[in-house]
Structure 1
Amino acid sequence: MVKLAVEALEEKKGEDVKIIDIEGVSVIADYFVLASASNANQTQALVDNVEEKLFKAGYECHQKEGSMSSTWVLMDYGDVIVHVFSKEDRLFYDLERIWRDGKIVESVDEL
């Protein structure tokens, strides 16, 4: 699921795509996948592509927070939570710092 999400984000030119393994530090999910978008249209394109790819693979989004006009959209797939941010919100909320006890996965090949 993480590999598909990353692929979907990269296909639509998501910026600074990161994977954080939080399995050992939280019960809410195993992985966070983060990406930045340069504008609202790109945010929507990233979200749509993730939803489409994961749906076709048989994964259903349990909950989605945010909308087309949002600067942060969260898609909850259970074990994987995908965050798509504007660059400004990503810096402001700084999930990488908040979840620094998790492990940054450098490549999907490590999964």
Structure 2
Amino acid sequence: MSIDPQALVKIVVETAEDKKAYDITVLDISKISIIADYFVILSGRSTTHVQAVAEEIIKVVGEKFGLVPRQEGMREGRWVLLDYGDVVAHIFQESERQFYNLERLWGDARVVGIPVNL
């Protein structure tokens, strides 16, 4: 069974919003990279908040779609990456987000509006 990447993005964004993540940006990278179709980039206020947002996304996506992501950074909680294949969620503390500046790095990507207008 194939999961619609747009539906997955919508669930990730809604779950992040429910956990009070902020500054949520969705980049459509499908035309410029083969690594994924979408990046969901968002911020949490602390290590604990970043971890809680990531854990909730993992839980909700698992319940809804039966997917388990490849993940990095959960223990440190400064930048958690959840890789669902076509959709990659980046959950940052603000200082890490500013440092890595993925929006600039992927500046050729189309920014998808929030709520998700795919």
TM-score by length of 1: 0.95
Deviation at 1:69, TM superposition (A): 2.4
2:50 match: 43
Cα 1:5–1:97 shift into 2, 3 Å: same
2:108 pairs with 1:96: no
Compute the RMSD of aligned alpha carbons. 1.1
Q: Report the counterpart of residue 52 of structure 1 in structure 2.
A: 59
Residue 57 of structure 1 deviates from its aligned partner by 1.1
CA deviation after TM superposition for structure 1 residue 62, in Å: 3.6
Unaligned runs of 5+ in 2: 1-7
What stretches of structure 1 of length at least 5 have no aligned partner?
A: none
> Cα distance, 1:20 vs. partner?
0.3
Cα distance between partner residues in 2 of 1:106 and 1:70: 26
Give the total of aligned pairs: 111
1:8 — aligned with what? 15
The separation in 2 between residues aligned to 1:12 and 1:93, in whole angstroms, is 23
- Residue 41 of structure 2 is aligned to residue 34 of structure 1: yes
Query: 1:70 is matched with which residue?
Result: 77
Tell me if the contact between 1:2 and 1:108 (Cα under 8 Å) persists in the aligned partners.
no
- Identity score, percent: 38
Query: 2:24 is matched by which residue type in structure 1?
Result: V
4+ aligned runs moved over 2 Å, structure 1: none
